[in-house]
Structure 1
Amino acid sequence: MNKRIAVVVTNLAGSGGEKIALTQAKLFHKKSNKVVLFLLEDIKSYNTENLGFPVIPLTNKKNKFKLFGKLGYKLYAKILASKMKLFGDFDLVLSNLPRSDRTVKELKHNNKYFVIHTSYKAEIEAFSKKLANKKIKLYKYLYNNENLITISNEMKDDFISLDIKPKTIQTIYNPFDFIDIIKKGEEDIRYEFDYIISPSAFRKEKRYDILLDSFKLLKNTNIKLLILAEYNQELSQMIKNRKLEKRVIITGFKKNPYKYINNAKLLVLSSSREGLPTVVIESLILNTPVISTDCPTGPKEILTENLSKWLVPVGDSKKLALKIDEALNKKIEIKKELINKFNEDYIYKSLISLIKE
């Protein structure tokens, strides 16, 4: 029997968590369920045409009720509940990212799950004591006695260390449509030079300073670096400060990043923290080798067996550069059995089991 699923996310502005929420909705729809994707804000960088299911924004402005604090999220929840009623009773509500979680926390529904996309422990450790205490208080309010899904096994330990006591907690990896990713990876691109790629948005935790420092240290000076992020003045200045303007290209956000990843010599992730880095899995699906920091959490669960050799310590630009140079001179075998656990058909069985008969 087909089920009715509500997927809730802040917006579709372009981050990994937002992309995964869209992927969740697509997967439930593909499996003949009735799906509605709810956005707190009407912001869309990802293509939402011809999805076959509704994408319903709760407001048309960014951060419309954010300044109202908890009351603001009660307002979001009230709007969400009223829009959900238009579609009937939902069997499952999946919330993605903290602002959506604050909204869904206020929603009265007997089968709601919160999908945790990043390491809250690593996030909190980077804060001042005052801000860290504030965040811990927020996360305890949000997740105590709630149903949680972490996207990597290591993330489950975070909640124990932070003294957060969920009602249930389990790991379900993000789903990936291998066939679609490979098909989109086969599209032509206009670049005729060799390059390594970083398809991550420009954020502090992505540590572009480390990536650029390591790129400057490479022995291979013919290779270029493609950054699939929107133009950012700070990022541009970081490139200029290292005199890398001729070797580093900021391409802007791409709706189809797969063709760029597919044609890259390597994908490099320099983050200080992640959840389960989507781009690493997508790169392996496309048979493009990956060099990644061994950050909390996720990379070590993806780069296993022979691929674990390509993990480097967080914040070490010299070791990152050495590994990039080494990988550029090797043929790295990516065994399909190491990534099959991320196939959407396997993941769907876990997601649909969240609905109790």
Structure 2
Amino acid sequence: MKKKIFVFMFSLSGGGAERTVVNIINNLNKNKFEVILVLGSNKNHDYIRLVNNDIRIKYLNCRKLYFCLFQLRREIIKEKPDILFSTLNGNNILLLISKMLSFRNVKTIVREASNRTQSGNVTKINKLLTFVTYNYFANKVVALSKGVKDDLKMNFNIDPRKIEVIYNPVEVKQIETLSKEQVGDIKKSPDEKLIIAVGRLVEPKDFHTLINAFNIVSRTLKSRLIILGKGPFEKQLKDLSESLGIKDRVLFMGFKDNPYNYINYSDLFVLSSKWEGFSHVIVESMSVGTPVVSTNCKSGPAEIICDNKFGRLVPVADSEKLACEIIEVLSDDETRKELSLLGKKRAQDFNAKTIVIMYERLFI
């Protein structure tokens, strides 16, 4: 008999955690599991088209996350799931409280998607809620990197016996196929280099440092910077590019359903984050053979890149060192070729089929 998995997300907006959930539920063995995806909002679902047709979707039509509490409780009672699953701290806390209010003893697994204390914005109330709900109402807590596990233990006092480290699943074959689609809105001249960054335009991604670094790079190399993503910092970042006199060489291209052909078309992928949970997009870039330069932020990049073996790591918020590493990699064809081959090999360690088996063992 199939186990019914009830997966809760407020939205499927264009972030790494949301994409990871899609990869997990798409790859679950449907002979063993029936998946119901419950979405709190009826808006901002950038990844909804990627959800397989064999997954049932329900909308709660809430304006805000915490307005979903009693509707979510009602759906748990109505659907009688065998397993509850969610990711992102707000979703997790709400799901665990809803489970408590439903008075049903349902196996519940939550996934922590970020090294949250790095933001400096975690409140005492949130720490208390996370401590109580994760320790007393979750059966397992998935940390998407060792760094996130350490954060949960040290800063939220989560019982380490509850924590399971499972890296992000990446659809390597699908990405390789999508990366071969033609890019129609950018043309690269033979003597220029394209640098690409992908992510929401928000504080943790620190695109300010990247643009300042690119300003240095552009004085040495004929190059352009492509930024794929949307978010509240877009105007600030455009203003910064204009003030530095590089407006025509920094391309803000918004969210793309398929970023992989742009990554494949580029000479280098750069992650400039202040903090991460894992950094899905590093592995995605490796899987198409695009070399990676990343900040050595907590958590994730160092675990993927492994002491500069599969890419290059630089200090956080240091535009000069970031620029130096970008220039060094882009100026050396042999280094780029070596990083491309090693990166493709490394990406296989995060193949969705392999990673999702680990989730299935938790769900059974």
- Stretch moving more, 277-286 or 13-22: 13-22
Partner of 1:233: 235
Q: Which amino acid counterpart does residue 360 of structure 2 have in structure 1? A: I
1:236-266 Cα distance to aligned partner (Å, 9 max, x none): 2222222221100110110011111111111
Asked whether the equivalents of residues 47 and 255 of structure 1 are also in contact (C-alpha less than 8 Å), the reply is no
**SS at structure 2 position matched to 1:311:** strand
**Structure 2 residue corresponding to 1:184, chosen from 131, 154, 178:** 178
Structure 2 CA distance for aligned equivalents of residues 210 and 158 of structure 1: 25
- Residues 78 and 163 from structure 1, CA distance in 2 versus in 1: closer, same or farther, beyond 3 angstroms? closer
How many angstroms does 1:220 deviate by? 3.6
Residue 345, structure 1, aligned to residue 339, structure 2: no
- Stretch moving more, 147-156 or 304-313: 304-313
Partner of 2:63: 62
Structure 1 CA distance for aligned equivalents of residues 331 and 325 of structure 2: 10
Structure 1 CA distance for aligned equivalents of residues 198 and 237 of structure 2: 14
C-alpha RMSD of matched pairs (Å): 2.2
Structure 1 CA distance for aligned equivalents of residues 262 and 211 of structure 2: 19
Partner of 2:131: 140
Residue 293, structure 1, aligned to residue 292, structure 2: no
1:41-52 mapped onto 2 (5 Å cutoff) = 41-43=41-43, 44-48=45-49, 51-52=52-53
- Residues 50 and 352 from structure 1, CA distance in 2 versus in 1: closer, same or farther, beyond 3 angstroms? closer
1:27-106 mapped onto 2 (5 Å cutoff) = 27-28=27-28, 33-43=33-43, 44-48=45-49, 51-52=52-53, 53-59=55-61, 61-63=62-64, 66=66, 72=67, 74-82=69-77, 85=79, 89-106=80-97
Partner of 2:283: 281
1:205-229 Cα distance to aligned partner (Å, 9 max, x none): 1111101110001144421111111
Partner of 2:199: 200
Structure 1 CA distance for aligned equivalents of residues 170 and 10 of structure 2: 21
How many angstroms does 1:74 deviate by? 3.2
Question: What percentage of residue pairs aligned between the two structures are identical?
Answer: 26
- Stretch moving more, 318-327 or 143-152: 143-152
- Residues 217 and 109 from structure 1, CA distance in 2 versus in 1: closer, same or farther, beyond 3 angstroms? farther
Structure 2 CA distance for aligned equivalents of residues 8 and 174 of structure 1: 18
Structure 1 CA distance for aligned equivalents of residues 240 and 248 of structure 2: 13
Q: Which amino acid counterpart does residue 216 of structure 2 have in structure 1? A: L
Asked whether the equivalents of residues 223 and 247 of structure 1 are also in contact (C-alpha less than 8 Å), the reply is yes
Structure 2 CA distance for aligned equivalents of residues 15 and 35 of structure 1: 21
Structure 2 CA distance for aligned equivalents of residues 196 and 223 of structure 1: 7
How many angstroms does 1:341 deviate by? 2.1
Residue correspondences, number = 340
**SS at structure 2 position matched to 1:36:** strand
How many angstroms does 1:109 deviate by? 4.2
Asked whether the equivalents of residues 10 and 96 of structure 1 are also in contact (C-alpha less than 8 Å), the reply is no
TM score, norm. by length of structure 2: 0.87
**SS at structure 2 position matched to 1:307:** coil
How many angstroms does 1:161 deviate by? 1.2
How many angstroms does 1:297 deviate by? 0.2
- Stretch moving more, 8-17 or 139-148: 139-148
TM score, norm. by length of structure 1: 0.88
- Residues 140 and 323 from structure 1, CA distance in 2 versus in 1: closer, same or farther, beyond 3 angstroms? same
**SS at structure 2 position matched to 1:327:** helix
Q: Which amino acid counterpart does residue 117 of structure 1 have in structure 2? A: A
Q: Which amino acid counterpart does residue 213 of structure 2 have in structure 1? A: S
Structure 1 CA distance for aligned equivalents of residues 115 and 260 of structure 2: 26
Asked whether the equivalents of residues 300 and 308 of structure 1 are also in contact (C-alpha less than 8 Å), the reply is no
**SS at structure 1 position matched to 2:5:** strand
**SS at structure 2 position matched to 1:101:** helix
Structure 2 CA distance for aligned equivalents of residues 314 and 283 of structure 1: 20
- Stretch moving more, 254-263 or 162-171: 162-171
5+ long unaligned stretches in structure 2: none
Structure 2 CA distance for aligned equivalents of residues 228 and 209 of structure 1: 14
Asked whether the equivalents of residues 196 and 226 of structure 2 are also in contact (C-alpha less than 8 Å), the reply is yes
Asked whether the equivalents of residues 7 and 36 of structure 1 are also in contact (C-alpha less than 8 Å), the reply is yes
Partner of 2:328: 326
Asked whether the equivalents of residues 92 and 354 of structure 1 are also in contact (C-alpha less than 8 Å), the reply is no
- Residues 243 and 197 from structure 1, CA distance in 2 versus in 1: closer, same or farther, beyond 3 angstroms? same
Asked whether the equivalents of residues 7 and 24 of structure 1 are also in contact (C-alpha less than 8 Å), the reply is no
Q: Which amino acid counterpart does residue 114 of structure 2 have in structure 1? A: T
